[in-house]
């Protein structure tokens, strides 16, 4: 094994304590740990656990932290180091600010921002809910009131908040209050979370400008809400487009096709009006 035994044993212990681990996953992990603690061959127990987890792993149906563990024990190239969240917890210097946007699955909301010059960090996470430290399973299940969102830390010398809001409109369907594209449910609703009065005024004016532009046949439904605690998502979800490029390309293509079709309808509608 390329990963040392001590590290994997710590992973097993943490997964047993992790509230996001499903009961079935926990039972398999517990069996492997008990076997190792009882003197069974370490590599054999890990290999057996990998074989048991494999069917769900191949269908992308393991919980995020167990997925990270599976990638580690299979020496997958996708098993990178933990995403550095330190910038999320640091106080912003004078030339930095933050924007929080929700626009459907956060897997598709990172790359369009992160690859732009002047963007310092884009973190996937959960916000707008009513419980602390929510897990992906809880949020997707609709138990916490959170939405999937991205926290964008940007250089104010390069980007203005207004420019980021304008880019956000290009990535989402603002007429859909109940999700985005194939992502349905309250946890996927589009929201601009504003940190202060200045951001609120900019977001509201931008939304008003979009509404009176006549680009959309239906009302603009994107909510503007005060920012609350932003909880970073599990490591598996951070920079998903880099870790899972093939899967991300399919999701991105589907999203782009929908938005392109929507924009074509806008142009046709404007043409008819003329």
- Provide the pLDDT for residue 33: 95
Cβ neighbours, 10 Å, residue 255:
24
The three-state secondary structure class of 249 is: helix
- Provide the pLDDT for residue 217: 85
Dihedrals phi, psi of 200, to nearest 5 degrees: -60, -45
Architecture of domain 86-251: 2-Layer Sandwich (3.30)
C-alpha to C-alpha distance for 64 and 242, rounded to whole angstroms: 16
Q: Which residues are catalytic?
A: 105
Q: What is the pTM of this model?
A: 0.81
C-alpha to C-alpha distance for 254 and 252, rounded to whole angstroms: 5
Cβ proximity of 122 and 113 under 8 Å: yes
Reading the chain (274 residues) residue by residue, the pLDDT tens digits are: 445 899 899 999 999 998 889 999 999 999 999 999 999 999 999 999 999 999 998 888 899 899 999 988 988 655 556 788 999 999 999 999 999 999 999 999 999 999 999 999 999 999 999 999 999 989 998 889 999 999 999 999 999 999 999 999 999 999 999 988 888 999 999 999 999 999 999 999 999 999 998 888 899 999 999 999 999 999 889 999 988 888 889 888 888 888 888 777 766 655 555 5
pLDDT in tens, 42-54: 999 999 999 999 9
Torsion angle in degrees (nearest 10) through CA of 93, 127, 114, 83: 80
Which residues in the chain are classed under CATH 3.30.1060.10? Answer: 86-251
Distances, alpha carbon 11 to alpha carbons 30, 72, 94, 133, 168, in Å: 12, 10, 39, 19, 37
Cβ neighbours, 10 Å, residue 152:
25
Establish how many alpha carbons lie within 13 A of residue 202's alpha carbon, considering only the half-sphere containing its beta carbon: 16
């Amino acid at each position: 094994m390329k990963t040392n035994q001590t590290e994997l044993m710590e992973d097993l212990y943490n997964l047993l304590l992790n509230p996001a681990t499903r009961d079935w996953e926990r039972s398999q992990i517990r069996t492997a740990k008990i076997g190792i603690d009882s003197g069974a061959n370490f590599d054999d127990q890990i290999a057996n656990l990998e074989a048991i987890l494999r069917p769900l792993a191949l269908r992308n149906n393991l919980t995020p932290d167990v997925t990270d563990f599976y990638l580690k024990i299979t020496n997958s190239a996708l098993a990178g180091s933990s995403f550095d969240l330190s910038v999320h917890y640091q106080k912003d210097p004078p030339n930095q600010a933050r924007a929080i946007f929700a626009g459907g699955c956060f897997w598709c909301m990172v790359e369009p921002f992160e690859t732009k010059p002047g963007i310092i960090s884009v973190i996937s996470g959960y916000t707008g809910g009513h419980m602390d430290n929510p897990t992906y399973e809880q949020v997707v299940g609709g138990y916490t009131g959170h939405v999937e969102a991205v926290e964008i830390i940007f250089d104010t010398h390069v980007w203005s908040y207004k420019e980021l809001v304008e880019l956000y409109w290009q990535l989402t369907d603002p007429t859909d209050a109940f999700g985005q594209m194939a992502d349905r449910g309250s946890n996927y609703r589009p929201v601009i979370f504003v940190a202060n009065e200045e951001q609120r005024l900019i977001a509201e004016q931008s939304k008003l400008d979009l509404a009176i532009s006549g680009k959309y046949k239906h009302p603009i439904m994107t909510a503007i809400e005060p920012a609350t605690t932003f909880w970073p998502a599990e490591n598996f979800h951070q920079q998903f487009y880099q870790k899972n490029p093939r899967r991300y390309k399919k999701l991105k293509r589907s999203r782009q096709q929908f938005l392109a079709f929507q924009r074509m309808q806008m142009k046709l509608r404007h043409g008819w009006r003329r």
